[in-house]
Amino acid sequence: MHAAGRLGLYAIGLVIAFVGAYGISAAVIPAGVVADGTEAARDGGAAMSGHAAMTDGSQDASLPGVSMSADGYALSAVASPASTDEPGELAFRILTTGGEPLTDFAVSHEKRLHLIVVRGDGALFRHVHPTLDTTTGTWSLPWQWDEAGTYRVYADFTPGDGTAEGVVLTRTVHIAGELAPVRAEPTRSAIVDDFALSITGDLTAGTASELTVSISRGNEPVTELEPYLGAFGHLVALRDGDLAYLHVHPQGEDPQPGGTSGADVSFMVEAPTTGRYLLYFDFQVDGQVRTAAFVVDAESGQRSTPTGHGDEAPHGH
């Protein structure tokens, strides 16, 4: 009896988390607004009742970065070297619903398309910017796989005609060879070349949480961070398990030309559920971009953010 009661509570918690997740991905982001947790939850409730006819689980599908098609666009097959031995090229196209290649892209974060490639275990990560052939719509860049494995490729772009914003499409690519997968464990510090980085702040499921990355070199705070992609650092956040692609917003002043910053860089990160999140922080010093990886667990925030849903949910189940 006691165990069954606990299970019931757990199920209620899941329902609440999904309501919060839907509110963040579908209701808040398209408006381009960073809402606080209370607003996100309230908008989520409104969106849910407006989509009462949708089947269960549709809120999950609205998370970005888990589908090869979204917002009327699709990611083509991704061409790349078949193994780790051969250098070559990685190439793909963004297709419209009618199968036509998209050739018109809007600049976002200083680029027309952001390409993220991560191995399924999160251990390998690249954030690069391929070149567009505007006559064919083919995006490409020189490419070589360092290690075998199953990789997720993400294209993050905004169509030039303004029909959608911040579209994230993903495909899986398999590279043959020996694989020793790495299990992601919570990690709040990183060493990259002679830089030491740490990340502070707590991720709370269903709301926007502030995380701050601090950077030092030789025990001195690094204050000469250079602008990169329109901010003093860029953060990509993926959910461990399905590698869903989270919305991340840089905090603080926009960089001025020639300006530098440091040693702290803050972001608002929206974790849809509890669980483990893979964080990749790109930063630029002396003209060179480096990436530090962190792993942070998101905790349940239901007890501390009363929104009314906690009273409503149990009656429906």
Which spans of this chain sit near Cu ion (rule: CB under 5 A)? 114
Nearer to Cu ion, 108 or 300 (CB): 108
Smallest distance from Cu ion to CB 267, Å = 15
Nearer to Cu ion, 48 or 236 (CB): 236
Nearer to Cu ion, 114 or 239 (CB): 114
Nearer to Cu ion, 93 or 234 (CB): 234
Instruction: Measure the CA–CA gap between 189 and 198, rounded to whole angstroms.
Output: 4
Smallest distance from Cu ion to CB 53, Å = 37
Nearer to Cu ion, 29 or 236 (CB): 236
Instruction: Measure the CA–CA gap between 35 and 46, rounded to whole angstroms.
Output: 15
Nearer to Cu ion, 128 or 164 (CB): 128
Smallest distance from Cu ion to CB 127, Å = 5
Instruction: Measure the CA–CA gap between 157 and 155, rounded to whole angstroms.
Output: 6
Residue 169's SS3 state is: strand
Q: Which residue is nearest to Cu ion (CB)?
A: 114
Instruction: Measure the CA–CA gap between 297 and 185, rounded to whole angstroms.
Output: 9
Residue 10's SS3 state is: helix
Nearer to Cu ion, 167 or 298 (CB): 167
Smallest distance from Cu ion to CB 125, Å = 12
Smallest distance from Cu ion to CB 117, Å = 11
Residue 172's SS3 state is: strand
Smallest distance from Cu ion to CB 147, Å = 22
- Residue 121's Cα: distance from chain center in Å? 15
Question: In this structure, which long-range contacts are made by residues 21-24, counting pairs with CB atoms below 8 Å and at least 24 apart in sequence?
Answer: 21/59, 21/60, 21/63, 21/206, 21/272, 21/273, 22/47, 22/48, 22/59, 22/62, 23/47, 23/48, 24/206, 24/207, 24/208, 24/247, 24/270, 24/272
Q: Which residue has the tokens 């599908």?
A: 61
Smallest distance from Cu ion to CB 111, Å = 5
Strand ranges inside the chain, DSSP E? 69-70, 73-75, 88-96, 105-106, 113-119, 125-128, 131-133, 138-143, 149-159, 167-175, 189-192, 195-200, 203-204, 207-217, 220-221, 234-239, 248-250, 264-271, 275-285, 288-299
Nearer to Cu ion, 41 or 113 (CB): 113
Smallest distance from Cu ion to CB 228, Å = 9
| Structure token pair of residue 176 | 């043959």
User: Are 116 and 129 within 8 A, CB to CB?
Assistant: no
